[in-house]
A and B are shown apart, each in its own frame.
Chain A
Amino acid sequence: MNSKDLGGILDKINELRALFIFGQRVIPFLEELFYFVNDIIPVLEEINVSIYESANKMPRASSQLNKVSQATELATTEILDSLDSVVSRLNAIDTHFDTATSDLTAIGKLDEELQELVTKSMGGDCKDDMRKFAELNSRKNSHLKAVKANADGLEQSLKDIRSKANDIMFSLQVQDITAQQIASVNHLIESVQSRLSGLIERFNIDGTELVGEIEKLDKKAFNPDASYDHSADRQHSADEIMNRAHHLKSHFNDYDAPNQTESTSQDEIDRMFGKDEQA
């Protein structure tokens, strides 16, 4: 063994020494890492259980929402049935009321004729009786006027009730709008549940039973932005676009009439609106 070989051995020993020194420094870090992993395992298991439980609760949440939607629809149908019944009775009252009003008018006319007849046949001879007759007739007429005034009041009340029944009916549009909002939330729940089921399936090492399925109801189409907004702003905005389009279409048709059975392209619509802005 020459000095060159000895030098090589010393180099290797030095490398080993450096490795031991490094190992000594790394050991506390590895110990810390070991304790950290030890601590995090129960946390991860807890998260796993939590994901599993949440995913399991989702079908129930979704089913509850569907029940809310169905119950609201049923209640709305009942309200509409009752409203139809109210309106049909109002119509019957209207008919009776019209008959009663015509009868009152006929009674008034007959009274006038009777008064004329009595005055004609008795006017000259029985002045006292005629005075009495005129007085009674005047009292009767004031009663008749009061009945007519009450009838007018009744007619107005009937109109008000009809108008309120109408308002209630149109407010029931809220059912369709909330049903769409609920369908949108349900869709979201279904998507999250599907993702979580996928995760659970991937990490299902111990063969735990997978989460339940969300009940599949009839496919419901919905607008996630549906809102029960009574302000006329959205209708005005739609009207504005429709009015401009109709106005410009007639102008546009003069030289480029799109066939009624052909759909208008976005470019055409943009051109219509663009043209208007330039005008």
Chain B
Amino acid sequence: MKFLVVDDSQTMRRIVNNALKGIGYDDIIEAEDGKDAIAKLYTERVDFIITDWNMPNMSGLELTKAVRSDEQYGSLPILMVTTRGMKEDVMEALQVKVNNYVVKPFTPQVLKEKIDLILKTI
């Protein structure tokens, strides 16, 4: 399974990357923002997207909208990992159809739990 980790923070990309490796997923590519992610989607096969919300150029929310409206990638599982933890934020993410939602700072257990849940339900 190939993961695409999208975050403008290099630190966060490394943390998510290491967490995924800890769970047993080694096939990981990274993108700095939504635009970069879209470009990667068209050049590499991706099975799962983990994205931050607040990013320059294209936010995680815009990325999710773009993916969902794409015929080829529309059904890709998307996990939003963000500092935004208000109820309204979760609702907004739900509205664009993210598969699940993780609030930063997160633990590896929470990340694993959400990935497992998504993979079980798709």
Alpha-carbon gap, A233 to B83, bound state (A):
13
Does A180 have its Cβ within 8 Å of any Cβ on chain B?
yes
Does B43 have its Cβ within 8 Å of any Cβ on chain A?
no
Closest to A177 in B: B83
Known A175-B11, A223-B83, A260-B97; contact A242-B108, beta-carbon cutoff 8 A: no
Within 8 A of B (CB), among A209-238: 218-223, 225-230, 234-235, 237-238
Known A166-B108, A176-B104, A242-B101; contact A225-B11, beta-carbon cutoff 8 A: no
> Would A246 and B121 count as touching, CB distance under 8 A?
yes
> Would A175 and B108 count as touching, CB distance under 8 A?
no
By secondary structure, the A interface counts as helix
The A-B contact count (CB < 8 A) is 126
Known A176-B104, A180-B83, A241-B87; contact A169-B15, beta-carbon cutoff 8 A: yes
Annotate A4-36 by CB proximity to B: 1 below 8 A, 0 otherwise.
000000000000000000000000000000000
Alpha-carbon gap, A139 to B7, bound state (A):
60
Give chain A nearest CB distance to B19 CB in angstroms: 8
Alpha-carbon gap, A239 to B79, bound state (A):
13
Alpha-carbon gap, A175 to B10, bound state (A):
10
Contact partners of A261 in chain B: CB under 8 A: 68-71, 74-75
Alpha-carbon gap, A241 to B7, bound state (A):
24
Annotate B43-70 by CB proximity to A: 1 below 8 A, 0 otherwise.
0000000000111110100000100111
In the complex, which range does the number of interface residues on chain B fall in?
35 or more
Does A155 have its Cβ within 8 Å of any Cβ on chain B?
no
> Would B95 and A242 count as touching, CB distance under 8 A?
no
> Would A173 and B101 count as touching, CB distance under 8 A?
no
Please report B residues at the A interface, Cβ cutoff 8 Å: 7-12, 14-15, 18-19, 22, 53-57, 59, 65, 68-71, 74-75, 82-87, 90-91, 94-97, 100-108, 110, 121
Q: Sample 24 A-B pairs with CB under 8 A, ordered by A number.
A: A77-B11, A169-B18, A173-B104, A173-B105, A176-B11, A176-B12, A176-B104, A177-B104, A177-B105, A180-B83, A222-B54, A225-B83, A226-B104, A234-B85, A234-B103, A235-B85, A239-B101, A241-B87, A241-B94, A261-B74, A263-B96, A264-B96, A264-B97, A265-B95
